[in-house]
Chain A
């Protein structure tokens, strides 16, 4: 089914001076898109890669099934950011993209680092679990995610961090916001294999509920087979804080502005991981995704 794709190779020691940016779009009706991306960062290199996705409104569902693979060799770092705004379908859940994406990264060399950042606001259904295999000693995996679902959207997203090497570290920050009749799930797996001496993981997943017909779910799998490794996991689910809304409105902000501000604040930890221009865009996207749902 492979349709097209891109391959990026960063030679040894090269720090890519600009953000590599791609833009995905699905135009034609009733189609699927099956692209592949492969990024290899050779020893000591660095690259930051961005992808943005949009699709025009269609009544039928469309399929996006991409495959992204990252390989970081010794001392290399790959930063991969996604702002996904595929058409989510209309207010009655009609149309929209099915976004089923495989994303995986291999920290093959010592001291390598892979960082996934994603802002998921679009698609009717999203299934996506960018993962890191931390094979090289001292390698680092990160996953920062904001997923906003509205109307009848479903997002089921998270990550998989597999610690194989010594002193490997991973960090997971996931923020889910559910509105309307949507369902928003964090699903993640952190595992420490036998030899992952002194490995560390920190996970934080927070969910915010706006409206009483939506759902927020957290399904983490945590598996440790090494007694020097430390896993810390925290999660919380709550509705938007009334006292915060009151405070903002007392200062003169409208209800909608207040919600947008508070939600953006809630996502800040993730949004600040995006490259500058993207961060501003993403903030606006967050505000737009909330529009009309606040009453």
Chain B
């Protein structure tokens, strides 16, 4: 079905369709869709994706029956169950949770860091049907865990969330995506870090083969703030992780990391993009992937350094291990630098597991499979050992063991 028809037909269920400004923006989006050639080779958002699956879809959304729960523990931690992209409103002296509003939509539509032809982000804006906004109030230090649940088969979730860390606050955010049904979630997180804030963001992705997850984030960091994002992708279904960060004021930092474990016919598309727009900022982009069977992955990384962003330090690393003859990995680590006083570097390697290392371990009496598994674990050891949260560390370890048990 044509995207415009699809939209018109379902308009009444879509957020903000009665708002004029939103409608104007959506008209532009529709014309982008209609005029684009969907060039898979040159459009980074389309590489390795099944166009029919994602752009010729049947729209379906259900308002969740059960209102989602928020538990306020005494240790400054909150558990949120987000159902079909919605969670109940909540307010105390530390946080405030509401539905997303039109202003947030308009605000995001002005952003120009994400490419205009990123069709998944455009779909998200066009068919937006849920989303929330969380504000962490000034000088609070809290933990939030969000479980993202999709209730039914065939659902198409288009969700926009806003996270705002007010001055001096600190947030530890764990998001879990573990869906077993045949549905698609297209989520966009817009994250704002005010002065002197810190956000540690963990995304644990473990969906079944029939669930598609498209997750995009855009974070912006003001003075002395640090955004750290760690993605653990164990999904057996399609996942797209596209994460954008803007360092807009002095001495801010963005750290975008990810590891992914692919098997069977699965595909994962990944991208990180850091824009340095102020002096004395640091960024780090590190993705590591293990690919087995017929799996495919892409990783685009990009460091952009504006002319004013002197004393920038930017680092990129991309590492892929291909365990099978039929797996493939594409990476494009890009640097665009317009300031002179910078230190930027990137490294990228793709290859099999080191045969010398396997030989060494086997000569110590270990079987080939055991050696392979040990070497896979060591490949991502740095990422795993940096998890402070014990409970989370155990969860991740378990998933890793599950993945390794299928490696032959």
Question: Of B307, B337, B344, B349, which is within 8 A of A231 by CB?
Answer: B349
Q: Is A151 part of the contact surface with B, judged by Cβ < 8 Å?
A: no
Q: Is B104 part of the contact surface with A, judged by Cβ < 8 Å?
A: no
Q: Is B103 part of the contact surface with A, judged by Cβ < 8 Å?
A: no
Q: Is A211 part of the contact surface with B, judged by Cβ < 8 Å?
A: yes
Question: Of A207, A210, A211, A221, which is within 8 A of B337 by CB?
Answer: A207
Question: Of B323, B334, B340, which is within 8 A of A239 by CB?
Answer: B340
* Known interface pairs A212-B307, A217-B337, A220-B334; A227-B348 also in contact (CB < 8 Å): no
Q: Is B227 part of the contact surface with A, judged by Cβ < 8 Å?
A: no
A198-245 interface (Cβ within 8 A of B): 207, 209-239
Secondary structure type dominating chain A contacts: strand
CB of B336 within 8 A of CB of A233, answer: no
CB of A215 within 8 A of CB of B349, answer: no
Interface residues on A, range: 20 to 34
Residues in B with CB closer than 8 Å to A238 are 342-344
Q: Is B338 part of the contact surface with A, judged by Cβ < 8 Å?
A: yes
CB of A230 within 8 A of CB of B334, answer: no
Q: How far is the CA of A228 from the CA of B323 in the complex (A)?
A: 9
* Known interface pairs A209-B337, A212-B310; A230-B352 also in contact (CB < 8 Å): yes
Contact with A along B224-265 (1 / 0, CB 8 A): 000000000000000000000000000000000000000000
Among residues of A, the one whose C-beta sits closest to the C-beta of B333 is: A220
| Stretch of B6-14, B58-66, B111-119, B324-332 at the chain-chain interface | B324-332
Of B327, B330, B338, B341, chain A has the most CB atoms within 10 Å of the CB of B338
Residues in A with CB closer than 8 Å to B329 are 223-224
Q: Is B142 part of the contact surface with A, judged by Cβ < 8 Å?
A: no
Q: Is B139 part of the contact surface with A, judged by Cβ < 8 Å?
A: no
> Smallest Cβ distance from B330 to chain A, in angstroms?
5
Q: Is B188 part of the contact surface with A, judged by Cβ < 8 Å?
A: no
> Smallest Cβ distance from A173 to chain B, in angstroms?
15
CB of A221 within 8 A of CB of B330, answer: yes
CB of A209 within 8 A of CB of B340, answer: yes
Contact with A along B280-300 (1 / 0, CB 8 A): 000000000000000000000
* Known interface pairs A231-B349, A233-B333, A235-B333; A224-B328 also in contact (CB < 8 Å): yes
Residues in B with CB closer than 8 Å to A214 are 338, 340
Question: Of A210, A222, A227, which is within 8 A of B324 by CB?
Answer: A227
Q: Is B146 part of the contact surface with A, judged by Cβ < 8 Å?
A: no
CB of A239 within 8 A of CB of B341, answer: yes
Q: Is B339 part of the contact surface with A, judged by Cβ < 8 Å?
A: yes
A234-271 interface (Cβ within 8 A of B): 234-239
CB of A231 within 8 A of CB of B350, answer: yes
Q: How far is the CA of A194 from the CA of B7 in the complex (A)?
A: 41
Residues in A with CB closer than 8 Å to B365 are none
B329-371 interface (Cβ within 8 A of A): 329-352
Q: Is B131 part of the contact surface with A, judged by Cβ < 8 Å?
A: no
> Smallest Cβ distance from A179 to chain B, in angstroms?
10
Q: Is B187 part of the contact surface with A, judged by Cβ < 8 Å?
A: no
CB of A237 within 8 A of CB of B338, answer: no
Residues in B with CB closer than 8 Å to A215 are 336-338
Q: Is B322 part of the contact surface with A, judged by Cβ < 8 Å?
A: yes
Question: Of B323, B340, B348, which is within 8 A of A220 by CB?
Answer: B348
Q: How far is the CA of A11 from the CA of B101 in the complex (A)?
A: 75
Among residues of B, the one whose C-beta sits closest to the C-beta of A227 is: B322
CB of B325 within 8 A of CB of A226, answer: yes
> Smallest Cβ distance from A159 to chain B, in angstroms?
15
> Smallest Cβ distance from B63 to chain A, in angstroms?
44
Question: Of A207, A209, A213, A222, which is within 8 A of B331 by CB?
Answer: A222
CB of A216 within 8 A of CB of B332, answer: no
Q: How far is the CA of A152 from the CA of B352 in the complex (A)?
A: 44
* Known interface pairs A222-B331, A227-B324; A234-B347 also in contact (CB < 8 Å): yes
Q: How far is the CA of A210 from the CA of B339 in the complex (A)?
A: 10
Residues in A with CB closer than 8 Å to B85 are none
CB of B328 within 8 A of CB of A225, answer: yes
CB of A212 within 8 A of CB of B341, answer: yes
Q: How far is the CA of A90 from the CA of B310 in the complex (A)?
A: 28
Residues in A with CB closer than 8 Å to B337 are 207, 209, 215-217, 237
Contact with B along A181-202 (1 / 0, CB 8 A): 0000000000000100000000
Q: How far is the CA of A229 from the CA of B348 in the complex (A)?
A: 14
* Known interface pairs A212-B307, A222-B348, A224-B320; A235-B328 also in contact (CB < 8 Å): no
Among residues of A, the one whose C-beta sits closest to the C-beta of B316 is: A235
* Known interface pairs A215-B336, A235-B346, A235-B347; A227-B330 also in contact (CB < 8 Å): no
Residues in A with CB closer than 8 Å to B347 are 232-235
Among residues of A, the one whose C-beta sits closest to the C-beta of B305 is: A237
> Smallest Cβ distance from B273 to chain A, in angstroms?
13
Question: Of A211, A225, A237, which is within 8 A of B335 by CB?
Answer: A237
CB of A233 within 8 A of CB of B307, answer: no
CB of B345 within 8 A of CB of A235, answer: yes
What are 17 inter-chain pairs, A to B, with CB distance below 8 A? A209-B339, A212-B310, A215-B336, A216-B335, A217-B334, A218-B335, A224-B330, A227-B324, A229-B351, A230-B351, A231-B350, A233-B333, A234-B346, A235-B346, A235-B347, A236-B344, A239-B341
Closest 6 CB pairs of A and B: A227-B322, A230-B351, A233-B348, A236-B345, A209-B340, A218-B335
Extra contacts besides A194-B325, A236-B343, A236-B345 (4): CB < 8 Å: A223-B328, A231-B350, A233-B348, A238-B344
| Residues of B bordering A, CB below 8 Å | 307, 310, 320, 322-325, 327-352
